[in-house]
Structure 1
Amino acid sequence: MIMNPNPSASKYTFLSLGDSYTIGESVSANDRWSVQLAGMLQKDGIDVSSPDIIAKTGWTTAELQDAIKASGNKKTYDLVSLLIGVNNQYRGQSQDRYRTEFNQLLQTAIGFAGGKPGRVFVLSIPDWGVSPFAQGRNQRQISGEIDAFNAIAKEESQKAGVSYVDITPLTRKAAGDSKQFADDGLHYSGQQMRLWAEAALPIAKTLLEK
């Protein structure tokens, strides 16, 4: 878990919840997609702080929820993001369990947003099946399972009135391009995560302007 060590007096605050894709495993702090998004918002004249982050490589939905509780964070934020589920898929956990625990996290995220679902957005799960790490594995199966988990996340987000940003196609286009992946061959590079931030930018701007 990492919290922003240098909170500012910005007009808007931002919390980013997730796993390795949010913490930016194997890349620098400045390359994290949520940090890049905050920079883009700032460049567009929106006074938002660098994000507080609660995320760790390997976390499932349940582990993220447990970590949030353990953090004791009682603050509210103007913008909250959630990206979680790849480790549920990787560990072979059921879709029903994911739906239940994802819903609980949605409510937690909405709570962090002061009870305003219109200030929360979800990013879809990247497809790690196209990564160098996945060579020799059943890519079709991985992609199919990720699609199923993402369908749940999209459906439940829409029910809750939370915005959904589909970045999975961007991650699939990264196949075969080493520049899109971190040195570990599994996680994504800052270059790829910039594309996620660009995809989330118009949504984040709209949410903050509500």
Structure 2
Amino acid sequence: MVINPDASAHAHTYLALGDSYTIGESVPARDRWSVQLAELLRKEGVDVADPDLIARTGWTTSELTEAIQRSGNQKTYGLVSLLIGVNNQYRGQDTGRYRTEFRDLLQTAIRFAADEPGRVFVLSIPDWGMTPYAANSRRDRQQIAREIDAFNAVAQEECQKAGIVYIDITPISRTAAGDASQIAEDGLHFSGKQYRLWAEKALPVVKKLL
């Protein structure tokens, strides 16, 4: 868990839950999409802290759940985000299992938001099939896209049921195809430039939640 020691100095606190995309694999901390979002919100006059994070590269829904439990975090936050599922897809897990575990994570996120689902938002799973890693490993990029879309459909349905905002950044992630500036140095994850686009997409929606 990454703690922001200055969070109490702001009117709103923020917790970001996820995997490599939330921890910002291969980019500086300032380039994480959630950190960029907090920065944009402050520029819009919303006094929100940079996020606490419970996120790690490679985590599936079940591993994120276990990590949350291990963290012992009992705090509540003014804003909570969730982005999880790419590793479920990558490991060949089925959408049925994902639905069950994702639904539980939504309820966990709501508890972190002091039982207010209106303070929780979800970002869709980006399409890693657009990356050089996918091309170089000769993975079926169309199949990856179809599977990502299937997992995202589940996430969107569960968000609607729970009354949680769902923000679709997957089409934005697909614009990274062939653009090295949108890809991190590892060839698999996204750069701060691509994360900026996610933050800008989320900004007007999240601003209304606070």
Q: TM-score range by the shorter chain?
A: over 0.9
- Name the SS for the 2:81 alignment partner: strand
What does residue 54 of structure 1 align with? 54
Alignment partner, residue 179 of structure 1: 181
In structure 2, distance between residues paired with 1:207 and 1:56: 26
Q: Aligned Cα RMSD in Å? A: 0.7
1:8 and 1:65 mapped to 2: Cα distance?
A: 25
Q: Does 1:149 align with 2:143?
A: no
Structure 1 residues 127-155: Cα deviation after superposition (integer angstroms, max 9, x where no partner): 00010000021001000000000000000
Q: Please give the alpha-carbon distance, in whole angstroms, between the structure 2 residues aligned to 1:164 and 1:50.
A: 21
Amino acid at match of 1:137: R
Q: Aligned partners of 1:143, 1:119: CA distance in 2, in Å?
A: 29
TM (norm. structure 1) is 0.98
**Gap regions ≥5 residues in structure 1:** none
Task: Could you tell me which runs of 5 or more consecutive residues in structure 2 were left unpaired when the two chains were aligned.
Answer: none
SS at match of 2:53: strand
Q: Identity percentage over the alignment? A: 68
Mapping for residues 59-208 of structure 1, pairs under 5 Å: 59-135=59-135, 136-208=138-210
For 1:8 and 1:28, locate their aligned partners in 2 and report how far apart those are by CA, in whole Å. 23
The alignment partner of 2:161 has SS state of: helix
1:203 aligns to what SS in structure 2?
helix
What TM-score results when the alignment is normalised by the length of structure 2? 0.98
**Aligned partners of 2:118 and 2:44: how far apart in 1?**
20
Cα separation, 1, equivalents of 2:42 and 2:3: 20
SS at match of 1:36: helix
Q: Is the 8 A contact 2:6 2:49 kept in 1?
A: no
Q: 4+ residue runs of structure 1 moved beyond 6 angstroms?
A: none
The total of aligned residue pairs comes to: 208
Say which SS state the counterpart of residue 122 (structure 1) adopts: strand
How many angstroms does 1:40 deviate by?
Answer: 0.3
Give how far 1:9 is off: 1.6
